[in-house]
Chain A
Amino acid sequence: MPLTSRVRGGALLGVAPFLAFTTIFLAVPTLVVVVGAFVDTGGRPTLANVAGLRQGYILDALLSTLELSLTTAVIGAVVGALLAYAVVTAAPDGMLRRSVSAVCGVLAQFGGVTLAFAFLATVGSQGFVTLYLFDHTGLAVPGDLLYGLRGLGLVYVYFQIPLMVIVFLPALDGVRVQWREATESLGGSTWQYWRHVAGPLLMPASLGSTLLLFANAFAAYATAAALVSQGSPILPLVVRATFTSEVVLGQANLGKAIALAMVVVVAVVMTGYAWLQRRTSRWVG
């Protein structure tokens, strides 16, 4: 008995460095946010921070963020699914397939300052598309397009589409050609195939992927920060404002309450995603 417990202890020692590191740099920060959301500046427990979430500008930002996330998730999911489907109809080891997956792998990680610059150089007030459209068609791209929610949506779609391709391709790959052939040999039309077979089979995967895209947009900060320097139209920028202007008394812990709210939203969405992923893998794993 003592021997086995010594072995167990020794075995646990092997994971000690990992646990120590993640405690300091993951658990502690998480606790700082969670605990901070429920204490005042003096460290006394309070619900004032959470109650503070009901302020108009925070609710507005929350609604805008939800709208932005939902819109870009749906657009990204639809366009990304189309692109993914286009790719799976090509040869599995062909150039097109490899190139599109590689490009999407990169672009899904694309964001922040670089992406902001790229769009400024394209549809900013001096962007080449802006100039070209004005010179050739007289159409004027609004000068402040990229500083508002619509412009932000346009930019977000740029990384949402490739992300959709990456997460949706495996599910599409799991759809076997026999299912289509079986449907046809049983007398089914293309429409019936999509309606009764491919559609229901891919439903969990598409819903799950959309949720993932939603979380991705909801959590995005860098791109918005690089584009929007005035005001805080979305939640991550509200957090930035409370973080950088700690002069306002009590703001710091209000920021933690907002941050906690963001974590809750993302965690709920990700749980839904994980659940749908498991369902998908049972069918088209």
Chain B
Amino acid sequence: MAGLQRARVRRQATFRWVVVAVVGTFFALPLLGMLEFTTRAPGGGRTAAVWRTVADLGGLRTTYPELWAGLKASGALVVLTVLIMLVLLVPTMTWVRLRVPGLRRTIEFICLLPLTIPAIVLVVGLAPVYAWVTYLLGGSSAWLCFAYVVLVLPYCYRALDAGLSAIDVRTLGEAARSLGAGWGTVMVRVILPNVRTAVLSASFLAVALVLGEFTIASLLHRDNLQVGINQLGQRDAQVAVAVSFAALALAFVLLLVLSFAGGRRTRTLTPLATPPTQEPA
């Protein structure tokens, strides 16, 4: 037996592993670099001292106040951004499908628009808007959530759109209405439970994007995790690298959970299938 097809399968396997190994090495080196750097001891050799410092949250708070401020701000931003995003998008998108389908293209256009506006450009335009926000609401970093909602709009829109397209919103809504449900009930009891996965995907994406955001916060002089890490980098590089590694690991876990959980039931829901245009960090 010549095994022509088997030979092809073997060739493909070899090619596959060579490519994966080479690219994998390129992907792994900078991550290893971070780990290696954070375990360097002052006189040479290895130490876990940096990681002990990072694990001690209470100590972190007093020793590195800039980092603590950033953490607190990012925590608030994550919650606010996800909330506003969901409250803004889910009812609007459902409503448009139910009552004003003619507006669907318009809403989609608006939601995808931020893809063509680089973050640095958005900052330029947002500066005067934030002068008003500061005047009306105060200068808290938490108000960055408005800008972040705009930033995550395209990704969350696509995730939610995939979820809503998978169910027949109109029929579900009409069925519930015919049974006597009000619009609020339709939204909360009928639509939401059916797009759980999509809501989860959209939220995870928003969390990952907010945790990595640097451009807007730094240029508008607000605090967030990345700004804190950046400031810390000038004072204690090792701790800064350790914290950013930890943040990255968290984002990694979040998106891994998302892609594995989402992969089984709703492949098309994976929002990652639709790409980011801007470097979100």
> Closest residue to A159 on the B side, CB-wise?
B279
Docked complex: A237-285 residues within 8 A CB-CB of B: 239-240, 243-244, 255-256, 259-260, 262-263, 266-267, 270
Distance, CA A119 to CA B5, complexed state (A): 43
B residues near A244, Cβ cutoff 8 Å: 219
Interface status of B179 (Cβ within 8 A of chain A): no
Distance, CA A82 to CA B24, complexed state (A): 12
What's the nearest-Cβ distance from chain B to residue A48, in Å? 17
Please state if B212 and A25 are interface contacts (CB–CB under 8 Å): no
A residues near B153, Cβ cutoff 8 Å: 22, 26
Please state if A129 and B100 are interface contacts (CB–CB under 8 Å): no
Please state if A212 and B277 are interface contacts (CB–CB under 8 Å): yes
Distance, CA A219 to CA B19, complexed state (A): 29
Query: Interface with B: A52-60, A95-103, A137-145, A193-201, which one?
Result: A95-103
A residues near B29, Cβ cutoff 8 Å: 122, 129
A residues near B13, Cβ cutoff 8 Å: 89
Query: Interface with A: B51-59, B162-170, B243-251, which one?
Result: B243-251
Interface status of A149 (Cβ within 8 A of chain B): no
B residues near A162, Cβ cutoff 8 Å: 27
Distance, CA A216 to CA B273, complexed state (A): 16
Please state if B88 and A166 are interface contacts (CB–CB under 8 Å): no
Please state if A263 and B276 are interface contacts (CB–CB under 8 Å): no
Q: A32-B128, A90-B16 are in contact. Are A106 and B149 (CB under 8 A)?
A: no
Taken residue by residue from 194 to 226, chain A's Cβ proximity to chain B (1 for < 8 Å, 0 otherwise) reads as: 000000000000000000100111111111011
Q: Is the interface of B mostly helix, strand, loop or mixed?
A: helix
Interface status of B65 (Cβ within 8 A of chain A): no
Distance, CA A226 to CA B230, complexed state (A): 8
Taken residue by residue from 52 to 75, chain A's Cβ proximity to chain B (1 for < 8 Å, 0 otherwise) reads as: 000000000000000000000000
Docked complex: B249-281 residues within 8 A CB-CB of A: 251-252, 255-256, 258-260, 263, 270, 272-273, 275-281
What's the nearest-Cβ distance from chain B to residue A117, in Å? 5
- Cβ-defined partner of A226 (8 Å) among B122, B214, B245: B214
Interface status of B99 (Cβ within 8 A of chain A): yes
> Closest residue to B241 on the A side, CB-wise?
A117
A residues near B208, Cβ cutoff 8 Å: 109
Binding site for A on B (CB under 8 A): 12-13, 15-16, 19-20, 23, 26-27, 29-34, 36-37, 88-89, 91-92, 95-96, 99-100, 103, 107, 110, 113-129, 146-147, 149-150, 153, 208-209, 212-215, 218-219, 226, 229-230, 233, 237, 240-241, 244-245, 247-248, 251-252, 255-256, 258-260, 263, 270, 272-273, 275-281
11 CB < 8 A contacts A-B: A22-B150, A26-B150, A29-B129, A32-B128, A86-B20, A110-B212, A111-B279, A126-B37, A128-B37, A163-B275, A266-B116
Additional A-B contacts beyond A32-B126, A32-B127 (14; CB < 8 A): A14-B91, A36-B124, A102-B255, A112-B226, A114-B226, A114-B247, A117-B34, A117-B229, A118-B34, A166-B272, A220-B278, A255-B124, A256-B124, A270-B115
